[in-house]
Amino acid sequence: MTLAVIVISAAACTSSNSRPSAGAAPRTAGAPPAQAGATPAPTPKASLTDAVVALLSAEERGDHGASYAMLDDQARTTYRDAIRWRDRRSELPAVTGFHVQTASSESLVVTVDHKPGLDPFIGLSPAQDRQTWTGRQEHGGWLVDADPTADPVLPPESAVVPSVTAWLKAAESCDAAAARSHQAVDPLLGTGNATAQFCSQHVAVAAGTPSRVLPGLASEQVVAAYNADALVWARSVALTGGAAPINVVVAPMGTTWQVIGVFG
């Protein structure tokens, strides 16, 4: 397979993780959000679960003042007012829902829902991530540490190669619309017009085993576009059988993988 040699241009951008379980209090409609510039007093809850549910419920409705009221004293030394807290939360995928997975006396594991997407500032917004929250007893109840650990919940890796293959077949068929439906971005990183380059190039290729993106031009461009966390969630597949190997990079978009870059 012969591909035209083209100039690779980086899409460089500057860049820097539910619903409650049964028994959790429902969200109150129509309640005005706390003022972002205020510094709400701590409002401890009877348990760590209650405190985390209150914080995430406030975040789900965009009320950063109310979620700030759930922070413990140590967190308030980092985020000294609700404005700083709001700014921190704007760097993370917005909460669209959540549910509690497991709880212990010292930590709470919660699956948090987001609208899937890629953003040069936030990076990846996975459909879900698994967050572990901790807290402590203060002011007569439980308050929450500010920054949980968060791991994206990725689609199965067995779906990576079929996604790449579907994109490649559409590109070889010169069906730009179908190829675009298998892409998360347009133009692509690396070979931005790779879809056009593959048009009518019907050569048997073999897709290798998906892997993390290896150091080099591909990883540099992916990190430049979506921050260093991309090295955790992005996957690369080598296509061999043509004149030279082609590496296709994909991102998890909801329950599927979509192409974000092609590198020769």
CATH code for position 235: 3.10.450
Give strand pairing partners of 21: none
Phi/psi region, residue 177 (left: phi>0; alpha: psi -120 to 50; beta: rest), is alpha
User: Do 205 and 248 belong together in one domain?
Assistant: yes
Q: How far is CA 259 from CA 59, 86, 118, 206, 246, in A?
A: 31, 32, 12, 17, 13
Look at residues 116, 83, 118 and name the one whose alpha carbon lies nearest to residue 97.
116
Residue 100 lies inside a defined structural domain of this protein: yes
- pTM beyond 0.85: no
Question: pLDDT, tens digit, for every residue of 125-152?
Answer: 999 999 999 999 999 999 999 999 999 9
How far is the C-alpha of 180 from the C-alpha of 187, rounded, in Å?
Answer: 9
What does the pLDDT read at residue 260? 98
What does the pLDDT read at residue 173? 95
Q: Give the DSSP H/E element, type plus range, for residue 109.
A: strand 107-113
How far is the C-alpha of 214 from the C-alpha of 200, rounded, in Å?
Answer: 29
Residue 21 lies inside a defined structural domain of this protein: no
pLDDT-flagged residues of the chain (< 70): 1-38
Total number of domains in the chain:
2
What does the pLDDT read at residue 4? 36
User: Do 136 and 167 belong together in one domain?
Assistant: no
